[in-house]
Amino acid sequence: GTTLGASAAEKGRYFGTAVAGFKLSDNTYTTILNREFNMVTAENEMKMNATEPQQGRFSFSAADQIVNHARSRGMSVRGHTLAWHSQQPGWMESMSGSALRQAMLNHVTQVATYYRGKIHSWDVVNEAFADGSSGARRDSNLQRTGNDWIEAAFRAADAADPNAKLCYNDYNTDNWTHAKTQAVYNMVRDFKSRGVPIDCVGFQSHFNNDSPYVSNYRTTLSSFAALGVDVQITELDIEGASANTYRSVVEDCLAVARCNGITVWGIRDSDSWRSYQNPLLFDGNGQKKAAYNAVLTALNNG
Ligand code: G3I
């Protein structure tokens, strides 16, 4: 293939990017998007504060702009995200207990129902584990509704959109030896053993000098896959955009049969949430970087 999406497709995989809706009027941005990618994640527009700004009043216009742009061009969509401690609407941030649990489940149900049949994979729950060595759940208003809030969210999503893949998504879960990775692994193993409807695990893979790519990443992907879930690289960016590291990530995904695809978290360096790290595949002018060529070659050689 001559593009990321086409080359990934030849390997039975997708290659995606995060998209910010307000950039779809930027011709350079949209030209690269439409040429290179066959999977799209809304960078912010499908989050809880965007889709339910007032309780019970849903707002899908910003998300629909991205979903329609993608699907009308044959791209698929990752839904990000149904339940998260961050970027909650103000009304939800101040809720607790059973009222919050019910509001969260209603949100999952309403959003997944609205998009039923249109989403390749949902990040049903995002970032629910603590950083550091505890292996514990992250403290949040959702966690304080009870430890079973995650499986409740997955059951609600499954009832609303039974044919979408339902993913748990997190960061700093790339290094197989880290407590957070093991804690997520144990949750997924438990969910599979009890029939909780989980289909996939998303590895955000925001690599930087503090949490770098490590060679046991492939072990992490294959170990989760061995539990009977798909794995997806969902928010890839690499500080400095090392071509060697990008190549390794692609090779690791291609080496794991259940690695469905790779999504980078933005198109140009200037689009990145960490633009100062120049972590992406295109420079600020939309020119392909060395990392782009490494990724394309790895996809074609794999
Ligand atoms: O839209 C408002 C704008 O009206 C306001 O004037 C401006 C002032 O701060 O803020 C704008 O909202 C910002 C939004 O991005 C849209 O640009 C928020 O402040 C800002 O916090 C938000 O950042 C996003 C961040 O998630 C929020 O947690 C980033 O764009 C987005 O890339 C980032 O993505 C996350 C994933 O969802 C989950 N994994 C980590 C990843 C990186 O942090």
Share of the chain above pLDDT 70, in %: 100
Cβ–ligand 1 distance for 169 under 6 Å, the answer no
Residue-wise DSSP of 246-262? HHHHHHHHHHSTTEEEE
Q: What is the pLDDT of residues 195-240, one digit of tens each?
A: 999 999 999 999 999 999 999 999 999 999 999 999 999 999 999 9
ipTM of the complex: 0.93
Task: Return d(Cα 49, Cα 281) in angstroms, integer.
Answer: 29
Q: Is the pTM of the predicted complex or chain greater than 0.80? A: yes
151 given a catalytic annotation: no
Q: 43 CB under 6 A from ligand 1?
A: yes
Q: Among 19, 23, 43, 263, say which to mutate for ligand 1: greatest number of ligand atoms within 8 Å of CB.
A: 43
Helix (H) / strand (E) containing 224: helix 217-225
Say what the pLDDT of residue 302 is: 82
44 lines ligand 1 (CB under 6 A): yes
User: Which contiguous run of DSSP H or E holds residue 157?
Assistant: helix 149-160
Closest atom of ligand 1 relative to the 266 alpha carbon? 32
**Pairing relationship of beta strands 165-170 and 259-264 according to DSSP bridges:** unpaired
Q: How confident is the model at residue 113 (pLDDT cuts 50, 70, 90)?
A: very high
Q: β-strand 121-126 against 206-207: which pairing, if any?
A: unpaired
Q: How far is ligand 1, taken at its centre, from the CA of residue 69, in Å?
A: 21
- Give which of 121, 118, 119, 89 is closest to 106, Cα–Cα: 89
Residue closest to 161 by CA, chosen among 116, 108, 110: 116
Instruction: Kindly give the distance from the C-alpha atom of residue 88 to the centroid of ligand 1, in angstroms, as a whole number.
Output: 12
17-25: average pLDDT: 98
Q: What is the pLDDT of residues 117-163, one digit of tens each?
A: 999 999 999 999 999 999 999 999 999 999 999 999 999 999 999 99
